[in-house]
Structure 1
């Protein structure tokens, strides 16, 4: 019984620091969106994140080379990850956006 109480207490402790978004989203995309909102809110960077996520979307839509790189199935996940991080770092994106992507 004590083990159950302790485990429940620990489980709520890990989520107590989360910031709830104004509209809670569900599914895999929702989990990522909610987590990004919470992280951005904690660091007071919601406006920066909004702008940068729009810029990343525009980059994927408008830049054919970048889109081909992302969709290239012959590349390993680590190669894509380091390439995307390099592009975003060079583009001046915040560390929060880089870590999220």
Structure 2
């Protein structure tokens, strides 16, 4: 079977995902948080375009379905491969969007990414758009990286400390990751905030301080 056909089949099972999501009418028209970088600008532009047309809920469902599809290595490889001509990739993505029953805003977003040669950033764009939607619903996603897996008590302590970092009425969705390079401690990334409580960073600061003092 051709690659487009194979990719299309991997998406067909996800059509029902388009039925989920809340009404766009309940969401803010402007991106609720500031995002930076190329992927951030694309995600914000997609949000604004969808809000303007009242299609936020549909675009959210479309992109969630597409994100699920990209868990398939064949789909991810095709989408992120910079060696595939832009026109060919745009055409195939449009066929995939048709099979998904995607709305016009989603199709335009995919075409823009493909024709602009930015599909290598697709995963990040999808991730950041999801962050915008989470924030629009009064939720905030926090990425907590620890040197080792935490038990329930450790997670509860960290999550309690986040209360002062969010606005009244917001809730936090915490995503935990591990990085042995931290040695001990943890880092928290939440929107444009980054807090570093890791031992690795403390040792670097101490080493730098000792180096400066030894030169005086």
| TM-score normalised according to structure 1 size | 0.71
Which residue does the alignment assign to 1:16? none
Corresponding residue pairs, total: 82
List alignment gaps of at least 5 residues for structure 1: 1-18
Matches within 5 A, 1:49-64: 49-61=59-71, 63-64=72-73
Which residue does the alignment assign to 1:46? 56
Cα 1:28–1:86 shift into 2, 3 Å: same
RMSD (Å), alpha carbons: 1.6
**C-alpha distance in 2, partners of 1:42/1:74?**
34
1:24 to 34, 44, 62: 34
Cα 1:74–1:25 shift into 2, 3 Å: closer
Secondary structure at the aligned position of 1:66 is classed as helix
Cα 1:74–1:35 shift into 2, 3 Å: closer
Larger Rg computed on CA atoms: 2
Cα 1:55–1:76 shift into 2, 3 Å: same
**C-alpha distance in 2, partners of 1:90/1:70?**
16
| Higher helix residue share | 1
Which residue does the alignment assign to 2:94? 85
> Are 1:99 and 2:108 an aligned pair?
yes
Which residue does the alignment assign to 2:146? none
| Higher strand residue share | 2
Equivalent residues of 2:97, 2:107 under 8 A apart: yes
| TM-score normalised according to structure 2 size | 0.35
**C-alpha distance in 1, partners of 2:54/2:102?**
15
List alignment gaps of at least 5 residues for structure 2: 1-28, 111-216
